[in-house]
Structure 1
Amino acid sequence: YHAGWIVRVVAGYLRRFHNRTTATVVATADLRARLNALGFTNLSVLGRGVDSALFTPERRCTALRAAWGASEHDIVALYVGRIAPEKNLELAVEAYRAMQRVGGARRFVLVGDGPQWAALQKRHPDLVFPGALIAQQLAAHYATADVFLFPSETETFGNVVLEAMASGLALVAYDYAAARMHVTHGETGVLIPYGQAAAFVAGAVELARSPLRLARIRRRAPASLASVAWPRVIERFEAILSDALGQRRSPS
């Protein structure tokens, strides 16, 4: 959004504000390291949770796949999020087209809304654009797809990573933020070196060419997220609050 010229001013203000607190909670260890380098202190890492009762492979819907024009033997790719330039969606489309060329990939469904929605739909009329969805409708779209293409390079965390994995999708994402925290490469998803577009496309193509690998990743992904059930995340948050309260009460 061409706002780089104000970064130093905003960072200075935020640093002064946050360094006066007992604790600032950040989403990832990577973000903590970046903020430490900018002079921020008193940082605690707390990742996000996922509602595994809502986002589950059990919400897979044969009728929805049929509405997309896909059988159970086809590969359906999915993206969920803002339809905007910072999400790098042209790369997601490129990866899907490459999957089509090697066979197996039948549909690409892009759930969400944003400034690129109309332009992408016009350029790619064969793709599926259901708009923004919530709750059970969103969960069904996750579970009914097979591969989650997520080439964004601008995430603080990326909640959709957890939602996709909990829903039994094989994730293809850059190796940072939530993907770095929760994906074991080749076992519960596919991690791509950050910013390497050609490698992202190749990672997606490899899944299209390897149905057994795709099935294995989809099966293992939900079980890998036990540590991010919301009760566990809340326990960690309570521990951070308790520690901060103890520091405030301790004599200086």
Structure 2
Amino acid sequence: MQPSDLRIALFSGNYNYTRDGANQALNRLVGSMLDLGAAVRVYSPTVPEPAFEPTGDLVSLPSFAIPMKGRGEYRVATGLGAAVKRDLERFAPNILHLSSPDPAAHAALRWAQDRDIPVLASVHTRFETYPRYYGLGFIEPFIERMLKRFYNRCDMLVAPSQSTIDELLAMQMHDRIGTWSRGVDRTTFSPERRDWEWRRSMGLADDDAAIVFLGRLVMEKGLDVFAETIVQLRKRQVPHKVLVIGDGPAREWFASNLPGGIFAGFKTGEALGAALASGDIFFNPSVTEAFGNVTLEAMACALPVVAAGATGSASLVHDGVTGRLVPLQGQSADVVACAEALASYCRDPALRRAHGAAGETRARDYSWAAINRAVADYYITLIAERRALQTREAIAAG
């Protein structure tokens, strides 16, 4: 079987209506599959004015906005509906790819099992950790059980880092998990993108040590730990500036808890690459990410990284070589340890340059073409295994 024989039905909880790291990876995957000659149909909630144009054919799923402060821009796909089922039948996929464990994905899984079609699920984030950031930590065990049941009904999982795979195996989410890593666009993210004039226009002196936050401003990105760490740096009188790149529903909270922070707003493309490369140290306190695209992008820009020693970053950052991995204290990164790691970079430009250069070298290993071809190989393997099983069952039935 060749990639051009693939007919992939991809289900996403957010394919293009709000930009995030997961849907950027999914759109790149679809583009790679189309380049290989595969047929792809994407099913996801949609909105009248999405954040960007989708790659490939997109079919809208029934959905509603999440009724929660700070999450209202996201939608939950409620199911398939008769029209979507008819579209699926016409498309006749030979593999389903589920990227979000929402009600529509559960329905799609049942639809595929009824037709003996193999299913691959990709893990993009630590969904079970989200409730703790909204005062609902008590439901985490329930979500873990739900995820375990959902994922184990799939034929295979893929996750973006070995640290995430190890965690999923330990949680018994599945016993067959492959790697679908992430790539980085080296034309966008490069130390050559550093823009001294832009940096000065933002109030950063040439000799300032600018600590960068990059991402959607939502609490599960570790905004509380970031803000508390900066307070520690100020108490220690460590010279630094803070550059925040991104926007989101928690912007007001972050700004009020990060006095003096420079908020550059939401950026994409070359403007994003220039803003990131114009920083000096990247700080990622999030423990919810399965990979951490922003961490890899910062490394590609030759910024040393201080990150929580959790899934995702633990597989990217080489502690003491490309940055520092900070141990967890309870369910989040240790604030004091974060401050100590950042202080060492703020005070030592030579150390920043050395660890940043090592990170930039490591980032060269992440090629989108090779990474996405591995997913096509997983699809082909699952289809071949299912067809072999069907043949054996037919022979046994006589």
TM-score, normalised to structure 2, is 0.58
TM-aligned CA distance change 1:176 to 1:6, over 3 Å: closer
SS in 1 for 2:312: helix
The correspondence for 2:152, drawn from 11, 14, 19, is 19
SS in 1 for 2:382: helix
Aligned residue identity for 2:194: R
Aligned residue identity for 1:235: R
Aligned residue identity for 1:202: E
Kept after mapping to 2: 8 A contact 1:77/1:96: no
CA distance in 2, matches of 1:43, 1:33: 9
* Superposition deviation, residue 110 in structure 1: 0.9
Aligned residue identity for 1:29: Q
Higher deviation after alignment, 115-124 or 144-153: 115-124
Aligned residue identity for 1:161: T
* Superposition deviation, residue 139 in structure 1: 1.0
Residues 67-124 of structure 1, C-alpha deviations (whole Å, 9 max, x = no match): 122232221111011222222224323434555655542x211112223211332344
Residues 128-154 of structure 1, C-alpha deviations (whole Å, 9 max, x = no match): 112221111111110110101111222
Aligned residue identity for 1:151: P
CA distance in 2, matches of 1:91, 1:239: 40
CA distance in 2, matches of 1:202, 1:96: 11
SS in 2 for 1:221: helix
* Superposition deviation, residue 155 in structure 1: 1.9
CA distance in 2, matches of 1:14, 1:103: 43
* Counterpart position of 1:210: 348
TM-aligned CA distance change 1:99 to 1:232, over 3 Å: farther
Residues 186-228 of structure 1, C-alpha deviations (whole Å, 9 max, x = no match): 2111111123221111000011122211111112211112221
* Counterpart position of 1:136: 270
CA distance in 2, matches of 1:209, 1:23: 47
Kept after mapping to 2: 8 A contact 1:110/1:130: yes
Aligned residue identity for 2:344: E
TM-aligned CA distance change 1:197 to 1:124, over 3 Å: closer
Counterpart mapping for 1:119-198 below 5 A: 119-194=253-328, 195-198=333-336
* Superposition deviation, residue 28 in structure 1: 2.6
Counterpart mapping for 1:1-252 below 5 A: 1-41=134-174, 42-99=176-233, 101-105=236-240, 107-194=241-328, 195-251=333-389
SS in 1 for 2:302: coil
CA distance in 2, matches of 1:46, 1:124: 35
SS in 2 for 1:65: helix
CA distance in 2, matches of 1:239, 1:246: 10
CA distance in 1, matches of 2:224, 2:153: 42
Aligned residue identity for 1:249: R
TM-aligned CA distance change 1:14 to 1:104, over 3 Å: closer
TM-aligned CA distance change 1:59 to 1:86, over 3 Å: same
Gap regions ≥5 residues in structure 1: none
Higher deviation after alignment, 182-191 or 162-171: 182-191
Kept after mapping to 2: 8 A contact 1:96/1:204: no
C-alpha RMSD over aligned residues:
2.3
TM-score, normalised to structure 1, is 0.88
CA distance in 2, matches of 1:95, 1:11: 30
CA distance in 1, matches of 2:223, 2:347: 22
Aligned residue identity for 1:32: I
CA distance in 1, matches of 2:238, 2:169: 46
The percentage of aligned residue pairs carrying the same residue is 28
CA distance in 1, matches of 2:231, 2:336: 13
Kept after mapping to 2: 8 A contact 1:102/1:209: no
CA distance in 1, matches of 2:178, 2:325: 25
CA distance in 2, matches of 1:80, 1:221: 17
TM-aligned CA distance change 1:131 to 1:5, over 3 Å: same
Gap regions ≥5 residues in structure 2: 1-133, 393-398
